[in-house]
Amino acid sequence: MIQKDPGKCLSTGKERQDRTVQLKSKLDLLSIDVKNPGTAVLLLQCQENSVLIAAVAALSKFASKAQENLEILFECGILEKIVPLMNHEDTFTRRFASKLLAEMAAIPLVRNVLLECEDYVPHFTKVLQNDTDVFAQEFSSLILAHLSKDMYGVAQILNQCPRMDFLFERIQSSDPDVKKNSIEIIYNLLEDPVGFANILGTKTFSFPLIYKLLAEPYPVIQKIALDVLENLVSRNKDDQLQENFQSTGGLQALLNILDNDEWIDVHSKTLNVLALASDNIKTVELLNNIGGILRLFKYMENAMNSKLRHEAFSIIVRLANSSTGRKALYNYGIIDYLLETVAEAVTFDFYEVSCYGIAKMTLDKSAAQELALKNPIKKLLDILKNENLKWFIRQAASFALKELLKADRKNCKNFLDVKGQTLLLWLLKQPIGKISAETQIIAIEALSTVVEYAEFNSTLLNADLVDAMCSSFESKYHQSDELPISSCQAIGKICIDKHGRDLFIRVNGPVRLYNLLKSSESLPVKNAAVQLIQELSADSSLAALLIKAGCFTYMTNEQTDFNIISSWKTCKETLLAAYLPAKFAFTGRLSLHDVTQDGFYVMRRTFCPFPILDDLFRLKICPLDPIYVINFSQPPSDYQDTLNLQYEKEKSQILGTRRTSTRTSISRKSFASIEVINSAMEWKFGKLQPDPYLYEYLELFKCKLIANEIAETSSTTLPGLANMSFIESRARLLGKFVARQMSGPDPDCQCRNHQFDIHISEIKLDIETSVIPLGQVRVGSFLERALLFKVMADKICLPTALVRGQYGKAWVEIAIPKIELLNKQYLKTPSSVNALMSDSENKRTNTSKQLMSLSINSERNLPYDNRNLVTNRNRNSVFNGHKQPIFPTKLLRPNFIVDLIYNPGDLLPIGSLQAKKYCDEIIA
> Residue 717: its pLDDT value, please?
59
Handedness of CA 209, 212, 217, 219 (dihedral sign): positive
Point out the least confidently predicted range of 221-235, 534-548, 739-753.
739-753
> Residue 921: its pLDDT value, please?
58
Point out the least confidently predicted range of 682-686, 788-792, 808-812, 821-825.
821-825
Tell whether the model's pLDDT for residue 864 goes beyond 50: no
pLDDT band at 756 (very low <50, low <70, confident <90, very high): confident
Handedness of CA 354, 359, 365, 370 (dihedral sign): positive
pLDDT band at 624 (very low <50, low <70, confident <90, very high): low
Cα 457 to chain centroid distance, Å, stands at 27
CA distance 818 to 642: 51
Cα 617-618-620 angle, rounded to 5 deg: 60
Q: What is the pLDDT of residues 184-205, one digit of tens each?
A: 999 999 999 999 999 988 888 9
Instruction: Specify whether the CB–CB gap between 47 and 90 falls below 8 A.
Output: no
Hey, which of 117-126, 301-310, 601-610, 830-839 has the most confident mean pLDDT?
A: 301-310
pLDDT averaged over every residue in the chain:
80
Instruction: Specify whether the CB–CB gap between 183 and 224 falls below 8 A.
Output: yes
282-294: average pLDDT: 93
| 266 to 219, 226, 450, 574: CA distances (angstroms) | 7, 9, 46, 62
CA distance 436 to 398: 12
Q: CA 210, 213, 215, 220: dihedral to nearest 10 degrees?
A: -130
pLDDT band at 873 (very low <50, low <70, confident <90, very high): very low
> Residue 319: its pLDDT value, please?
94
Please classify residue 874 by burial: count the beta carbons closer than 10 Å to its beta carbon, then call 0-12 exposed, 13-18 middle and 19+ buried.
exposed
Cα 21 to chain centroid distance, Å, stands at 97
Instruction: Specify whether the CB–CB gap between 549 and 514 falls below 8 A.
Output: yes
* β-pair partners for 590: 802
Higher pLDDT, 883 or 894: 894
Q: What is the pLDDT of residues 347-367, one digit of tens each?
A: 788 899 999 999 999 999 999
Phi, psi of 814 (to 5 degrees): -125, 165
Q: What is the pLDDT of residues 682-716, one digit of tens each?
A: 445 445 677 888 989 999 998 988 888 765 554 44
- Burial code (b: 16+ CB inside 10 Å, e: under 16) for 52-68 equals bbbbbbbbbebbeeeee
Hey, which of 507-516, 742-751, 811-820 has the most confident mean pLDDT?
A: 507-516
CA distance 503 to 491: 10
Among the listed residues 792, 760, 765, the one whose alpha carbon sits nearest the alpha carbon of residue 779: 760
Kindly state the helix (H) or strand (E) to which residue 323 belongs, with its residue range.
helix 323-331
> Residue 430: its pLDDT value, please?
86
69-93: average pLDDT: 74
CA distance 207 to 214: 11
84-113: average pLDDT: 79
55-81: average pLDDT: 75
Q: CA 254, 259, 260, 265: dihedral to nearest 10 degrees?
A: 60
Tell whether the model's pLDDT for residue 903 goes beyond 50: yes
Q: What is the pLDDT of residues 198-253, one digit of tens each?
A: 998 888 899 999 999 999 999 999 999 999 999 999 988 888 999 999 999 999 99
Q: What residue type is 620 in one-letter code?
A: K
- Burial code (b: 16+ CB inside 10 Å, e: under 16) for 820-844 equals eeeeeeebeeeeebeebbeebeeee
Instruction: Specify whether the CB–CB gap between 546 and 514 falls below 8 A.
Output: yes
Among the listed residues 847, 846, 865, the one whose alpha carbon sits nearest the alpha carbon of residue 907: 865
Question: Which residue spans within 129-200 are E strands per DSSP?
Answer: none
265-291: average pLDDT: 93
* β-pair partners for 306: none
* 3 state SS of 106: coil
Kindly state the helix (H) or strand (E) to which residue 888 belongs, with its residue range.
strand 886-888
Q: What residue type is 487 in one-letter code?
A: S
Handedness of CA 69, 74, 76, 77 (dihedral sign): positive
> Residue 618: its pLDDT value, please?
61
Point out the least confidently predicted range of 467-471, 636-640, 790-794.
636-640
* Rg, C-alpha atoms of the chain: 47
CA distance 841 to 853: 11
Q: CA 307, 313, 314, 320: dihedral to nearest 10 degrees?
A: 180
Tell whether the model's pLDDT for residue 876 goes beyond 60: no
Higher pLDDT, 764 or 266: 266
Among the listed residues 168, 77, 161, 82, the one whose alpha carbon sits nearest the alpha carbon of residue 123: 161
pLDDT band at 586 (very low <50, low <70, confident <90, very high): confident
> Residue 291: its pLDDT value, please?
93
Higher pLDDT, 879 or 754: 754
Q: What is the pLDDT of residues 663-672, one digit of tens each?
A: 444 344 444 4
pLDDT band at 733 (very low <50, low <70, confident <90, very high): very high
398-416: average pLDDT: 94
CA distance 293 to 296: 5
CA distance 212 to 768: 99
Cα 555-561-563 angle, rounded to 5 deg: 110
> Residue 477: its pLDDT value, please?
63
Hey, which of 53-57, 157-161, 634-638 has the most confident mean pLDDT?
A: 157-161
Pairing verdict, β 886-888 and 810-814? unpaired
Among the listed residues 555, 456, 473, the one whose alpha carbon sits nearest the alpha carbon of residue 508: 473
Instruction: Please give the DSSP secondary-structure letter assigned to residue 105.
Output: T
Q: CA 360, 366, 370, 371: dihedral to nearest 10 degrees?
A: 20
CA distance 829 to 923: 55
Kindly state the helix (H) or strand (E) to which residue 314 belongs, with its residue range.
helix 306-318
Q: Residue 365: CB partners within 8 Å, gap ≥ 6?
A: none
Instruction: Please give the DSSP secondary-structure letter assigned to residue 804.
Output: E
CATH class of 457-578: mainly alpha
CA distance 439 to 389: 14
Pairing verdict, β 771-773 and 886-888? unpaired
> Residue 404: its pLDDT value, please?
95
564-584: average pLDDT: 89
| 60 to 84, 97, 108, 537: CA distances (angstroms) | 16, 8, 18, 79
Among the listed residues 563, 536, 564, the one whose alpha carbon sits nearest the alpha carbon of residue 551: 536
pLDDT band at 13 (very low <50, low <70, confident <90, very high): low
CA distance 350 to 334: 14
Instruction: Please give the DSSP secondary-structure letter assigned to residue 10.
Output: S
CA distance 607 to 677: 29
Point out the least confidently predicted range of 38-52, 141-155, 773-787.
38-52
Q: What residue type is 102 in one-letter code?
A: A
CA distance 885 to 851: 18
Instruction: Specify whether the CB–CB gap between 240 and 201 falls below 8 A.
Output: no
Pairing verdict, β 907-909 and 589-590? unpaired
| 636 to 639, 655, 779: CA distances (angstroms) | 5, 29, 26
> Residue 621: its pLDDT value, please?
59
The CB-based long-range contact list for 457-464 (8 Å cut-off, 24+ gap) reads: 457/497, 457/499, 457/500, 458/499, 459/416, 460/416, 460/421, 461/494, 461/497, 461/499, 461/500, 461/503, 462/503, 463/503, 463/506, 463/507, 464/425
* β-pair partners for 909: 896
Which residue ranges make up each domain of the chain?
457-578, 639-685, 824-920
CA distance 676 to 682: 10
Q: What is the DSSP string of 192-259?
A: SHHHHHHHHT-TT--HHHHHHHHT-S-HHHHHHHHHHHHHHHT-TT-HHHHHHHHHTTHHHHHHHHHH
CA distance 278 to 233: 9
Kindly state the helix (H) or strand (E) to which residue 494 belongs, with its residue range.
helix 482-494
